[in-house]
Structure 1
Amino acid sequence: MTLVPGDWDVFSIKYADRNARTRADSFIFDDNHDAPHAMDYFMWLLRRGDEIILVDTGYDHEEAKARNRPIRLDPGKALAPFGLKPEDVTQIIVTHLHYDHAGGLHLFPNATLHMQAAEMAYATGPCMCHDTLRMPFTAAHVCEAVKRLYSGKVIFHDGSAEVSEGLTVHCIGGHSRGLQCVRVRTHAGWLVLASDAAHFYENVYSEKPFPIVVDLQDMLDGFATLRRLASHPGLIIPGHDPLIRQYFPQEMAPHIHRLDGGPMTQPDGAD
Structure 2
Amino acid sequence: MSDWEVFAVKYADRNARVRADSFIFDDNHDAPHPMDYFMWLLRNGEEIILVDTGYDGEEASARQRPIRLDPVTALAPFGIAPSDVSQVIVTHLHYDHAGGLHLFPNAALHMQSAEMAYATGPCMCHDTLRMPFTAGHVCEAVRRLYSGKVIFHDGDGQIADGVTVHCIGGHSRGLQCVRVRTQAGWLVLASDAAHFYENAFARKPFPIVVDLQDMLEGFGTLERLASKRDLIVPGHDPLVREYFPTVMAPHIFRLNAGPLEKIAL
- Write out aligned runs for 1:142-221 (5 A): 142-221=138-217
1:31 aligns with 2:27: yes
Q: CA deviation at 1:20?
A: 0.1
Secondary structure in 2 matching 1:253: coil
1:46 aligns with 2:36: no
Secondary structure in 2 matching 1:254: coil
Question: What is the TM-score of this pair, normalised by structure 2?
Answer: 1.00
Aligned twin of 1:268? 264
Aligned twin of 1:125? 121
1:242 aligns with 2:238: yes
1:78 aligns with 2:74: yes
Aligned twin of 1:110? 106
Task: Give distance in 1, aligned partners of 2:251 and 2:73.
Answer: 11
Segments of structure 1 that go 5 or more residues without pairing to the other structure are: none
1:227 aligns with 2:223: yes
Task: Give distance in 1, aligned partners of 2:62 and 2:151.
Answer: 30
For residues 104-153 of structure 1, the C-alpha deviation after alignment (integer angstroms, 9 at most, x for no partner) is: 00000110000000000000000000000000000000000000000000
Q: CA deviation at 1:6?
A: 1.3
Task: Give distance in 1, aligned partners of 2:163 and 2:192.
Answer: 18
Tell me if structure 2 keeps the 8 A contact 1:184–1:191: yes
Question: What is the TM-score of this pair, normalised by structure 1?
Answer: 0.97
Task: Give distance in 2, aligned partners of 1:181 and 1:39.
Answer: 19
Segments of structure 2 that go 5 or more residues without pairing to the other structure are: none
Tell me if structure 2 keeps the 8 A contact 1:77–1:85: no
Task: Give distance in 1, aligned partners of 2:105 and 2:125.
Answer: 29
Task: Give distance in 2, aligned partners of 1:267 and 1:37.
Answer: 18
Task: Give distance in 1, aligned partners of 2:60 and 2:232.
Answer: 28
Tell me if structure 2 keeps the 8 A contact 1:166–1:184: yes
Q: CA deviation at 1:29?
A: 1.2
Question: What fraction of aligned residue pairs are identical, expressed as a percent?
Answer: 79
Question: 1:6 corresponds to which letter in structure 2?
Answer: S
Secondary structure in 1 matching 2:71: coil
Q: CA deviation at 1:52?
A: 0.1
Task: Give distance in 2, aligned partners of 1:131 and 1:146.
Answer: 21
Question: 2:7 corresponds to which letter in structure 1?
Answer: F
Q: CA deviation at 1:85?
A: 1.0
Aligned twin of 1:97? 93
Question: 2:169 corresponds to which letter in structure 1?
Answer: G
Task: Give distance in 1, aligned partners of 2:72 and 2:129.
Answer: 28
RMSD: 0.5
Question: 1:16 corresponds to which letter in structure 2?
Answer: A
Secondary structure in 2 matching 1:155: strand
Question: 2:260 corresponds to which letter in structure 1?
Answer: M
Question: 2:4 corresponds to which letter in structure 1?
Answer: W
Q: CA deviation at 1:77?
A: 1.3
Secondary structure in 2 matching 1:208: coil
For residues 45-83 of structure 1, the C-alpha deviation after alignment (integer angstroms, 9 at most, x for no partner) is: 000000000000000000000000000001011111101
Task: Give distance in 2, aligned partners of 1:163 and 1:85.
Answer: 21
1:139 aligns with 2:138: no
Aligned twin of 2:249? 253
Question: 2:73 corresponds to which letter in structure 1?
Answer: K
Of the structure 1 ranges 77-86 and 30-39, higher mean CA displacement relative to structure 2 is found in 77-86
Aligned residue pairs: how many? 265
Q: CA deviation at 1:266?
A: 1.1
